[in-house]
């Protein structure tokens, strides 16, 4: 379940930092009862950004597959080996 805290609780920065590192989800901050910000640990942010990049690349690959833009694996490896003499 997501954690939701009011913005006035942001004064205790070390407690907020501990909450961010202990949570596997972002923490939602409200202002006057409405959503205002989302905070998370740097580690979680990097993981989310990595996964976003992976999903983006998968989407591109699926589109290329649908369009028939595929290469034969053996031919591609042969070409690379010839190019780099390996």
Same domain, 33 and 47: no
Cβ(23)–Cβ(1) below 8 Å: no
Dist. CA 5–CA 35, nearest whole Å = 10
pLDDT tens-place values along the chain, 86 residues long: 889 999 999 999 999 999 999 999 999 999 999 999 999 999 999 999 999 999 999 999 999 999 999 988 999 999 999 999 98
Same domain, 80 and 46: yes
Q: Is 39 helix (H, G, I), strand (E, B) or coil?
A: strand
Same domain, 82 and 61: yes
Its pTM stands at 0.74
Domain count, the chain: 2
Dihedral through CA 7, CA 12, CA 14, CA 17, nearest 10?
-10
Same domain, 26 and 52: no
Q: How many CB atoms lie within 10 A of CB 20?
A: 19
Same domain, 30 and 51: no
**Range of 8's domain?**
1-40
Same domain, 4 and 36: yes
Beta bridge partners of 56: none
Alpha helices in 1-86 (DSSP H): 13-22, 42-66, 73-84
């Amino acid at each position: 379940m997501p954690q939701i805290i009011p913005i006035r609780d942001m004064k205790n920065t070390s407690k907020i930092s501990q909450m961010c590192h202990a949570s596997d989800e972002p923490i939602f901050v409200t202002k006057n009862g409405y959503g205002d910000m989302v905070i998370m640990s740097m580690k979680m942010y990097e993981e989310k950004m990595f996964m976003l990049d992976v999903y983006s690349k998968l989407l591109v690959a699926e589109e290329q597959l649908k369009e028939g833009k595929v290469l034969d694996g053996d031919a591609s490896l042969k070409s690379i080996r010839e190019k780099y003499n390996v």
